[in-house]
A and B are shown apart, each in its own frame.
Chain A
Amino acid sequence: MISRVADSCFWLTRYLERVDSLARLIGVHHSLHIDAGPQTQQRGRPLLEFVGRTGFYRSLPDHPSVDDADRVEHYLVWDGSHPASLHRGVQSVRENARTIREILSHEAWEAINDLWLWLRSNDARRAYDESRNDFYEHFTRTAVLFHGVSHASMLHDEAFTFMKLGRAVERTDLTARLLAIHHPRVHKTAEGESAALLAALRSTCAFEPFFRAGRPLNLTEVTRFLVFDPSLPRSVVYNLDEARFLLRGLRREDPLALPRRSRQSLERFRGELIQMDIGDIERRGIPATLDWVVRSTAHLCRAIHDDYLNPPMAWLRHCVRVLETVSPDEGATRAA
């Protein structure tokens, strides 16, 4: 498929995943205040940390306080002037969807477009004022709706593969970040470690699965679960396995023996991770390990870009010349 289109497929789901995570995270922290009591105002800090906007936020013209949680929340939801807000996130999802409207099914497009139209309507403002929980659920439900409806109404072809690949790498990255900001050293809440761990589980959709798996609630177990559990859809390993499966499928469709850096990058990353156990991670330091996961994911994404989404022109021209000498009549393959 056209590389630029694959790029939009990849980014559509990445942005959607970000919107989904941020909405869930803010929702979780919004409901923490009952437990947290007077410390409730500090709930804005991990949110800013999560999207990496603490510095930007502090330097806004009116020098807002990071402890003004309502202000932080408003900034992260409505402020269209920075890329990390939900508003901009939804806009980016929709722009990507509009660009590849020819790929999406009508139902899949409407799921996205409806979210955008809703967010710009008075209904959304009213939900924000009257029921914050309903407000955030609107985003997370749309994400689920999109994944379901695209699965049910679109060809499971290469475009769909890139949408799933975007989701997998984004989830790898987001789970590591969500765990990192809830690390007790970062997230100092009044109720201590357990509230932070519960928030980490809730914001990764792992709350019920964790207890169903019968694990005791402590940092080691939560980390092990979110990083290694092979059946948890948002765990790091689950998503690396998914990405690996998808990249293998793409490689099988290569008409030429094209060198693929993304495969190498992923194999090295995944190989290193699955050789570790939780003890290794704790010795290395959980925050340091999570940081390594984030950096390795970024490396993988760059490789995917070079291999598939934005291949260098010089390399493409080289391919043509190689192919023309091999079979001058046929040139590069015509088949889609």
Chain B
Amino acid sequence: MEPQVSGKEALVLRSGTRLDGDEPADLFGGYHPLPRTFDEMFDADGTPHPHMVGVADPIRRMDRTEYRRLQRLASNAFLRGGITFSVYDEDDGDPDRIFPFDLIPRVITRTEWNRVEKGLVQRVCALNAFLDDIYGDGRILAEGLVPREMVHSSKAWVPSLVGVRPSGKVRIHIAGIDLVRGSDGELVVLEDNVRTPSGVSYVLENRAVMRRVLPQRWERRVAPLDEYPSRLRAAMSAVAPCAEGPDNAVVLTPGPFNSAYFEHSFLARRMGCDLVSGSDLFVERDRVYARTTHGPRRVDVIYRRIDDDFLDPEFYRADSALGVPGLMKAYAARNVSLINAVGNGVADDKGIYPYVPEMIRFYLSEEPILRQVKTYICDRPDECRYVVDHLRELVVKAVGEAGGYGMLVGPTASREQIELFRGRIAENPRNYIAQPIVELSTCPTWTNEGIQPRRVDLRPYVITGNGSWVLPGGLTRVALVRGSYVVNSSQGGGSKDTWVLEDA
């Protein structure tokens, strides 16, 4: 998720200055869950789910003026804190935007979360084993469980890294696994992100703003999030190549003009690491050094927020000014650890996704705890035929794309869009998968039309060093446009605080 939304729109939504004379007194008055859609807070008849009463009632008791005031306070807190992302394609001088946010939390019970947590750890474990395998002996390919061709044709595949095992054997130090809840109410995996998943700073800052703004006393405890930076820092130390002594870890950013710079800076600040750009590092004798005020200093671990392609102009794109010449050699010599490992994109390729349950069975001899969405692989002729005949009912995704780009949402697409995708799939079937549409669950959300159901997803974060740890909750992204299924911030998405509600 690289947030890029029109912030002007966002500001209007958040400040919510519309004043109606005859609004219902109840903040949730007139709220109707969508038909055939699971609502995170209310039953179909409009009463809160039993475990939601304690959350819904205090909000319900706020009047609208009060709610608006708090919503404004929250916007101000984001703006003043500089919790923004940058948009550089507009004429306005100031590119910094706040990420749309509203105060009504998305709530998950501890009981459900415990199951999700186990499922996530299992999944990440299998994906990690898969990467280790395909960059190693390739057992799963030899067994024919995952087509070799599918792996080797992935844009993210780096053949020269075969045989290079990162220190600590961990490749997916940070995973963001996107979950959605369909109409049956079950959370299922929609997508894996094991390259450089972003957004976690918004999770932590959303909570900080909620704490500052919301005056209510809640009946139950909400699982705290504060451990994230120290967990990540510990995972970085765990995979440092130096056997003993303090490791020197840095966060590598593309720079202040990157849309997620706030997050890079946030994580560096909370972990007590230096935040560096490519030009702050250099490689000498296959070792990485930082340019400091007291001469060169060895760097052992790099949490890089730069895509593989831009890491090293000697290895990948010669035109990349963001990277560090020679970095890949230092990495291959195991003199530096990169977080996440290079070449991970194969595992979250949308074309590989359908095989993940098989990986779990193969590497862990377990049944998947979390289900995933039924997926048609257009590279298989019979499945491709089905897809082409049912475009109206399906979501088609280009396997190499992320951020909600290159996607066709059948039910809402125009005839032209449908035909466009029909042509594209015929041209390059390997590049497409299709899934039945998931009626993403909704959550009551503050909009300039009052509180309305808006569709949400959930991105939990899994950190792996010595063992795995899951941040309780994660980033709830909201499709702010009425009726929309697209939660990506680049396409008009917002976010909410996510609560894992501890048992009473």
* Bind each other: yes
List residues 235-294 of chain B with CB under 8 A from any CB of chain A: 242, 245-248, 256, 261-262, 265-266, 268-269, 274-277, 279-280, 282, 284-285, 287, 289-294
Residues of B within 8 A of A127 (CB): none
Q: Hey, what's the 0/1 contact readout for A46-83 against B, CB within 8 Å counting as 1?
A: 00000000000000000000000000000000001000
Q: B298 at the A/B interface (Cβ < 8 Å)?
A: yes
Q: A231 at the A/B interface (Cβ < 8 Å)?
A: no
Residues of B within 8 A of A4 (CB): 276-277, 279-280, 291
Report how far A113 CA is from B76 CA in the complex, Å.
12
Q: Are A109 and B275 in contact (CB under 8 A)?
A: no
Report how far A287 CA is from B81 CA in the complex, Å.
45
Q: B296 at the A/B interface (Cβ < 8 Å)?
A: yes
Residues of A within 8 A of B242 (CB): 334
Q: Are A255 and B294 in contact (CB under 8 A)?
A: yes
Q: B46 at the A/B interface (Cβ < 8 Å)?
A: no
Q: Are A258 and B245 in contact (CB under 8 A)?
A: no
Residues of A within 8 A of B284 (CB): 317, 320-321
List residues 310-336 of chain A with CB under 8 A from any CB of chain B: 311, 313, 316-317, 319-321, 323-324, 331-336
Could you say which interface size class chain A belongs to? 35 or more
Q: Given the known A-B contacts A102-B275, A120-B94, are A95 and B291 also in contact in the complex, defined by CB atoms under 8 Å?
A: no
Q: Are B295 and A255 in contact (CB under 8 A)?
A: yes
B381 shortest CB reach to chain A, Å: 52
Q: Is the interface of B mostly helix, strand, loop or mixed?
A: mixed
Q: Hey, what's the 0/1 contact readout for A1-42 against B, CB within 8 Å counting as 1?
A: 111111000000000000000000000000000000000000
Q: B80 at the A/B interface (Cβ < 8 Å)?
A: yes
Q: Are B82 and A113 in contact (CB under 8 A)?
A: yes
Q: A193 at the A/B interface (Cβ < 8 Å)?
A: no
Residues of B within 8 A of A114 (CB): 80
Residues of A within 8 A of B285 (CB): 320, 324
Residues of B within 8 A of A117 (CB): 79-80
Residues of B within 8 A of A332 (CB): 289, 295-298
Residues of A within 8 A of B275 (CB): 2, 5, 102
Q: Are B256 and A3 in contact (CB under 8 A)?
A: no
Residue of A nearest to B269 (CB): A102
Q: Are A311 and B291 in contact (CB under 8 A)?
A: yes
Residues of B within 8 A of A334 (CB): 242, 245-248, 297-298, 300
Residues of A within 8 A of B282 (CB): 313, 316-317
Residue of B81, B256, B285, B293 contacting most chain A CB atoms (<10 Å): B293
Q: Are A250 and B293 in contact (CB under 8 A)?
A: yes
Q: Are A258 and B274 in contact (CB under 8 A)?
A: no
Q: Are B293 and A3 in contact (CB under 8 A)?
A: yes
Report how far A162 CA is from B280 CA in the complex, Å.
17
A301 shortest CB reach to chain B, Å: 15
Report how far A101 CA is from B285 CA in the complex, Å.
32
Q: A229 at the A/B interface (Cβ < 8 Å)?
A: no
Report how far A335 CA is from B242 CA in the complex, Å.
13
Residues of B within 8 A of A158 (CB): 293
Q: Are A258 and B269 in contact (CB under 8 A)?
A: no
Residues of A within 8 A of B276 (CB): 2, 4
Residues of B within 8 A of A101 (CB): 82, 262, 265-266, 269
Residues of A within 8 A of B215 (CB): none
Q: A202 at the A/B interface (Cβ < 8 Å)?
A: no
Report how far A162 CA is from B274 CA in the complex, Å.
16
Residues of B within 8 A of A309 (CB): 293
Residues of B within 8 A of A324 (CB): 285
Q: B21 at the A/B interface (Cβ < 8 Å)?
A: no
Report how far A106 CA is from B265 CA in the complex, Å.
12
Q: A291 at the A/B interface (Cβ < 8 Å)?
A: no
Q: B93 at the A/B interface (Cβ < 8 Å)?
A: yes
Residue of A114, A319, A320, A323 contacting most chain B CB atoms (<10 Å): A320
Residues of A within 8 A of B256 (CB): 95, 98-99
Q: Are B280 and A2 in contact (CB under 8 A)?
A: yes
Report how far A245 CA is from B104 CA in the complex, Å.
53
Q: Can you sample 22 A-B contacts with CB below 8 Å?
A: A2-B292, A3-B293, A4-B276, A4-B291, A5-B274, A101-B266, A102-B265, A109-B82, A113-B81, A113-B82, A162-B293, A256-B294, A308-B293, A317-B284, A317-B296, A319-B295, A323-B296, A332-B289, A333-B297, A334-B248, A334-B297, A335-B246
Q: Which 7 residue pairs are nearest across A and B when measured between Cβ atoms?
A: A102-B269, A102-B268, A101-B265, A308-B293, A320-B284, A102-B265, A332-B296
Besides A113-B80, A120-B94, 5 new A-B residue pairs in contact (Cβ under 8 A), listed by A number:
A4-B280, A113-B82, A117-B79, A250-B293, A311-B295
